Amino acid sequence: MLLAIDVGNTTVVMGLMNGNKSFDVWRISTKNISTEDELSVHIKNFLDFSGYKPSSIDDICVASVVPSMNDVFKYYARKYMNKNPTFVKIKDVNWIEWNVWTPNELGADRIANVISAKENYGENVIVVDFGTAITIDILTDKYEGGVILPGPRTAIQSLFTNTAKLPSVEAKFPDSPVGKDTITNIQSGIMLGTMFAIDGFVSLFEGEFSKRFKVISTGGYGADISKSSTKIEEYIPDLTLTGISIFYSRKNESTFS
């Protein structure tokens, strides 16, 4: 089995993969991992809970947008698995054309999302990933670029941090778009504002490329916003992990072919 790991700014998502399909997925706060030994304890506990042994893991592949964490995963793989982990890197994805000015700036999670979209849907797909930041990626017959905007939790925290009286609130949709108190005012502005931003961008992209896109989403806040969106057709919670697994498989095929 492959242990696929998506290292985000807020959350680390780990999944056991078999044939590019996940069958056990665990999440942990990124700030709760600072050494390879701590990581080992978390992974062992997850495996024990699910009825597996550490020896069940054949290899590890990581998509990380937190460079300071990369050594933790390297040291874990070497110390506890006697292996060098594979990291998702754009230079190894030669089956997709990256039509952007600076491909090396593209986050590993976005690369994995595009790989998964390409593998499962082919062309003309838009991927929306709801994380600490929301990323929107456009795939025609090539990768065309996209958009980054603040995620709901990030936007709420920004209001809380930079204003004197606004509270930190739960990132959820209010019952009505018309806020009746400070909390529902913020929730309406952030959650509905995010939804309308996503739908608006998709409409702009469809006009820009003169075509209709299939729009899929993933990420922590994606489920709720996707239900309310008029453009998002499908929410896929394990999209990034699937992309990591596909990357690993394709890289090994090219390595050993």
Residue 109 among the catalytic residues: yes
Q: How many whole angstroms separate alpha carbon 138 and alpha carbon 219? A: 17
Q: How many whole angstroms separate alpha carbon 111 and alpha carbon 137? A: 9
Query: Which residues make Cβ contacts (< 8 Å) with residue 133, sequence separation at least 6?
Result: 9, 148, 149, 150, 151, 154
How many CB atoms are closer than 10 A to CB 22? 19
Q: How many whole angstroms separate alpha carbon 215 and alpha carbon 48? A: 37
- 88 with 187: CB under 8 angstroms? no
Closest to 76 measured CA to CA, from 122, 110, 42, 119:
42
Largest CA distance in the chain: 63
| Catalytic residue chosen out of the listed positions 37, 92, 109, 181 | 109
User: Which residues are identified as catalytic?
Assistant: 109
